């Protein structure tokens, strides 16, 4: 996939607020490799900076003040993004307000299919998407008190377009945070990415959708019905929805902001602590 100079952007980082149901959609370019290795900094943090420390009772940070903060199930904390250019080492800040015992979901996109993504020890790679010359992967971990405020990932090949998102949720089961993941669905050239429904086995679970669009920098996705957009980063976006009762979720569809590209979509359910 060839890109013009205007398609290449510098490093951008920002944080946005969000709510709870998570799914992943990817629009881009064939397969890439994923590896889990131990990098310096242990536990997925690393570099200089303060450790997360133990969870804080009664935390009242701005990122945790939301209409669903009193829910019995998982709640959205915050999200952070980064957009390197031609890099093989990726640094991304932890979402503002994230702390020990929160769940982190990482989504990484590269526009070189041959690139091999390396996750530090402690990350669980859940799915990767072979696209049409590019690729994406997502993984998760529960934050440890020793995690530092910057997370490091690596690729074997630099890409002209790379994007990372970290999203944090609080009130998720620490030992088994995922109740289920809908089977990965791949698409040809399209703007509409639909993931089949998934069965929620307990009340107060969070449904999450992650969306990736190769041509979507600084653009806005059409949010799936019933979900909340946690950011509109364009290339990678996150949507979620609280499920107050158990049962089938039904399918979810996200519409990419521009053009038609190869893509894929996942839905996943986050378990509450007692689920």
pLDDT at 275: 60
pLDDT at 55: 77
| pTM for this model (two decimals) | 0.80
Model confidence at 240, pLDDT cuts 50, 70, 90, reads: very high
Answer yes or no: is pLDDT of 256 > 70: yes
Give one DSSP letter per residue of 94-141, joined into a string.
Answer: PPTT--TT-EEEEEEEES-TT-EEEEPTT-EEEEEEE-SS-EEEEEEE
- Compute the average pLDDT of residues 122-132: 84
Give one DSSP letter per residue of the chain, joined into a string.
Answer: ----GGG-----EEEE---S-EEEEEEE----EEEE---TTSTT--SSS-B--S--TT---GGG--TTTT-SS-EEEEEEEE--SS-SEEEEEPPTT--TT-EEEEEEEES-TT-EEEEPTT-EEEEEEE-SS-EEEEEEEEPPTT-BSEEEEEESS--SSEEEEEEEEES--SS--EEEEPPPEEEEEESEEEEPP-EE-SSSEEEEEEEEETT-TT--PBPPTT-EES---SSEEEEEEEE-S-EE---EEEE-SSS-EEEEEEEEEEPPTT-
With respect to residue 45, please indicate whether it lies within any of the assigned structural domains.
yes
Domain span at residue 94 reads 16-54+65-270
With respect to residue 3, please indicate whether it lies within any of the assigned structural domains.
no
With respect to residue 60, please indicate whether it lies within any of the assigned structural domains.
no
pLDDT at 29: 38
Number of domains in the chain: 1
- pLDDT (tens digit per residue) in 155-180: 999 988 888 999 999 999 999 999 98
With respect to residue 1, please indicate whether it lies within any of the assigned structural domains.
no
- pLDDT (tens digit per residue) in 26-72: 444 333 344 444 333 334 544 445 677 777 654 433 333 333 434 58
With respect to residue 146, please indicate whether it lies within any of the assigned structural domains.
yes
With respect to residue 8, please indicate whether it lies within any of the assigned structural domains.
no
């Amino acid at each position: 996939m060839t890109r013009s100079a205007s398609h290449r952007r510098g490093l951008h980082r920002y944080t946005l607020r969000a709510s709870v149901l998570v799914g992943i959609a990817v629009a881009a370019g064939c397969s890439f490799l994923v590896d889990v290795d131990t990098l310096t900094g242990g536990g997925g943090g690393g570099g200089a900076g303060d450790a997360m420390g133990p969870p804080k009772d009664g935390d009242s940070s701005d990122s945790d003040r939301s209409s669903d903060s009193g829910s019995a199930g998982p709640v959205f904390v915050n999200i952070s993004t980064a957009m390197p250019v031609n890099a093989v080492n990726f640094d991304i800040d932890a979402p503002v307000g994230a702390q020990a015992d929160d769940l982190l979901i990482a989504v990484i996109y590269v526009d070189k299919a041959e690139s091999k993504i390396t996750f530090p020890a402690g990350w669980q790679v859940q799915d990767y998407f072979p696209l049409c010359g590019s690729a994406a992967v997502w993984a998760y971990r529960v934050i440890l008190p020793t995690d530092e405020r910057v997370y490091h990932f690596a690729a074997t090949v630099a890409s002209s377009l790379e994007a990372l998102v970290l999203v944090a949720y609080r009130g998720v089961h620490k030992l088994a945070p995922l109740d289920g993941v809908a089977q990965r669905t791949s698409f040809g050239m399209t703007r509409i990415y639909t993931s089949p429904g998934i069965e929620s086995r307990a009340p107060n679970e969070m449904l999450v959708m992650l969306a990736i669009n190769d041509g979507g920098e600084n653009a806005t996705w059409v949010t799936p019905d019933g979900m909340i957009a946690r950011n509109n980063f364009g290339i990678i976006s996150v949507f979620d929805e609280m499920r107050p009762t158990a049962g089938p979720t039904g399918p979810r569809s996200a519409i990419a902001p521009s053009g038609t590209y190869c893509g894929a979509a996942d839905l996943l359910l986050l378990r509450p602590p007692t689920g």
